Structure 1
Amino acid sequence: DGRAFEAEGVGHPAGGDTARGARPEERRYDVGPGGTHEGPKSGRGASARGGAKGGPKQGQQRGGRTENARSREYETRTEERNRDRYAGKPDIKLPKTFPGAEEEGERLQKILARAGYGSRRACEELVDQARVEVNGQIVLEQGLRVDPEKDEIKVDGLTVATQSYQFFSLNKPAGVVSTMEDNEGRQCLGDYVTNRETRLFHVGRLDTETEGVILLTNHGELAHRLTHPKYGVKKVYLAHIVGPIPRDLGKRLKDGIQLEDGYAKADHFRVVEQTGKNYLVEVTLHEGRKHIVRRMLAEAGFPVDKLVRVSFGPITLGDQKSGWLRRLSNTEVGMLMAEVGL
């Protein structure tokens, strides 16, 4: 009942925020004299403070004493009564813990829960099922303390990202430049990740007119390895070209196409679909040179009309809509790390 709250002196959010369900940080409360916030000067909050017609005014004399004086006197009596009640009772002893427990890390189930593996109870079940290992050893009992800065934690063989790392996959639309900011005012990747607490950066690039999967993270070492040729992370592209195409096109691409900056080889090639002279082909490669797929096909005699990257390592596009950003699952993050030896 709203009147019951008014009687206790609790105000209402300013500007009628109750109707639109304002977030807590947007609310302002009537805390009365000595409070940290100034409430509204009129309306129901004022009535609750005694400003309504016929009600006592703040600080008004009642029986020779002010309301504030009565409140202080009541608090003093309560404090004395509680002091007498507990006088002479022994101090409560806290449970004993082994020396340095606070310095020796956190409980494993707490770290797993924070990393997104469910509630603490669900994480305890992972331990009971022998699915968790720390530094290469299967954890067989509850309550193990670990140091997330130093210890390697895995679930089902996949490394757990225990720090404050974020991992996202964006289905980049055509016309978006692969930068987090653009001085020319063009639409860029940063437009899709505003209001994030942590600064993200993109893993590799996609041509402005190329669509598809691009990863965003704040994990520097993972981003470096995913784009380094040493680790050979494969990317899969779907390209629309106009045929007819010769049967040996795939062999030519896999043997290597001579470009102005050296040979470029595809790891795999196949025709996905054909409608008349229109072909949809799939090209897999682990290189990351600029315009690499477009240049290879153009050099082979088949300029690309449309290009979409459908996977980056184990991360696939699936049914993710153009322009949509999604957070990677713990399993996907673990697969990415396993791909590059983290």
Structure 2
Amino acid sequence: MAEAEYSGPRDSKGKPRRHLPSPGRPDEKRAFRPRRPANAAPSKGNLERKDGEERIAKLLARAGVASRREVERMIADGRVERDGVPITTPATMLKTLHGISVDGNLVKQAEPTKLFLFHKPNGCLTAERDFSGRKTIYDFLPADLPRLMPIGRLDLNTEGLLLMTNDGEFKRQMELPSTGVERTYRARTFGDVTQEQLEDLFNGIEIDGIKYGRIHANLERRTGSNQWIEITLTEGKNREVRRVLEHLGLKVSRLIRTSYGAFTLGEMAPADISEVRKFDLVMFRKTLDTQLAKKG
């Protein structure tokens, strides 16, 4: 009697692929798992730290060289070397920054995380330099401070609390919308608006195709068509406060950030800067890690 023609799955050579019973489970067929090509890119799991190793981009960010994204651009431009040899990928795993240089300058090991409160004056840029000659926040900082990076940004004509740190990883954590750190602003506006309109922002709003998340907004006081409005949000998208208020038909004449997370502007004068106590920073980071763990 002729053998029936096999119609099941076949391997790459055309031979029938037979499923063998799994040990201890005779009734269950073993799922086929394709072999990983030898030259395939490493999976995400293979890039996790082991024996204390971390990605070079993360280590350089923590050392205050730049944000992780900027470090990745530096690596792509060939500006980062190890013992004189260019690093080719931000996924390079290292235990320390020994022998690492940026633009020919050896990088120092990361210092303990520091956080500063800075009252950004109106009319200066949240940038390291401006080629058109406008003032930046660094024109107001004392020369004896460590290299600091701003956490988030404030527009040219927005003043108030700007957090600054020497730790690029902490900066990144604070800026992520998923972290949910609240920012509060006071806006002086001209135009007609009701408290009901402001309360509608609690459900979020879409403007020109851009979706803005939950916003808490309240009228503080009004004089004729001028009023102060307090706004609290967690996303901090580009020009978010101004765009939302302008969408309501208001003209913003002054915008001040009064708080970021647990830190407030208080009575700080423009251009004043003060360091957060180590204990307060440690407690804040513990609270932040707890919140992230609950969300995760």
Normalised by the length of structure 2, the TM-score is: 0.57
Q: Distance in 2 between matches of 1:206 and 1:339?
A: 25
Match of 2:273 among 325, 329, 333: 325
Which residue is equivalent to 1:198? 146
Specify whether residues 311 and 335 from structure 1 end up closer, same or farther in structure 2 by C-alpha distance, changes over 3 A only.
farther
Kindly provide the amino acid, as one letter, of the partner of residue 238 in structure 2.
Answer: K
Q: Distance in 1 between matches of 2:111 and 2:129?
A: 26
Q: Distance in 2 between matches of 1:335 and 1:321?
A: 26
Q: Distance in 1 between matches of 2:287 and 2:168?
A: 15
Superposed CA offset, 1:272-299 (max 9, x none): 1222222111000001211000000101
> Contact between 1:180 and 1:191, CA under 8 Å: does it hold in 2?
no
- Structure 2 unaligned residues grouped into runs of 5+: 1-95, 97-109, 291-296
Superposed CA offset, 1:5-36 (max 9, x none): xxxxxxxxxxxxxxxxxxxxxxxxxxxxxxxx
Match of 1:171 among 102, 105, 119: 119
Task: Give yes or no for the alignment of 1:298 onto 2:246.
Answer: yes
Choose between structure 1 and 2 for higher RCO, CA contacts under 8 A separated by at least 6 residues.
2
Q: Distance in 1 between matches of 2:146 and 2:278?
A: 18
Kindly provide the amino acid, as one letter, of the partner of residue 157 in structure 2.
Answer: E
Shift of 1:194: 4.2
Matches within 5 A, 1:119-268: 163-196=111-144, 198-268=146-216
Shift of 1:333: 1.4
Task: Give yes or no for the alignment of 1:308 onto 2:269.
Answer: no
Shift of 1:261: 4.3
> Contact between 1:168 and 1:328, CA under 8 Å: does it hold in 2?
yes
Superposed CA offset, 1:158-195 (max 9, x none): xxxx9433321111011110012222221111112242
Shift of 1:199: 1.4
Q: Distance in 1 between matches of 2:238 and 2:158?
A: 11
**Identical-residue share of aligned pairs (%):** 30
Name the structure with the higher helix share.
1
Question: Rg larger in 1 or in 2?
Answer: 1
Task: Name the SS for the 1:179 alignment partner.
Answer: coil
Shift of 1:339: 4.4
Normalised by the length of structure 1, the TM-score is: 0.50
- Structure 1 unaligned residues grouped into runs of 5+: 1-148, 150-161
Q: Distance in 2 between matches of 1:181 and 1:243?
A: 36
Match of 1:337 among 285, 291, 294: 285
RMSD (CA atoms): 2.1
- Runs of 4+ aligned structure 1 residues displaced above 4 Å come to none
Task: Name the SS for the 1:187 alignment partner.
Answer: coil
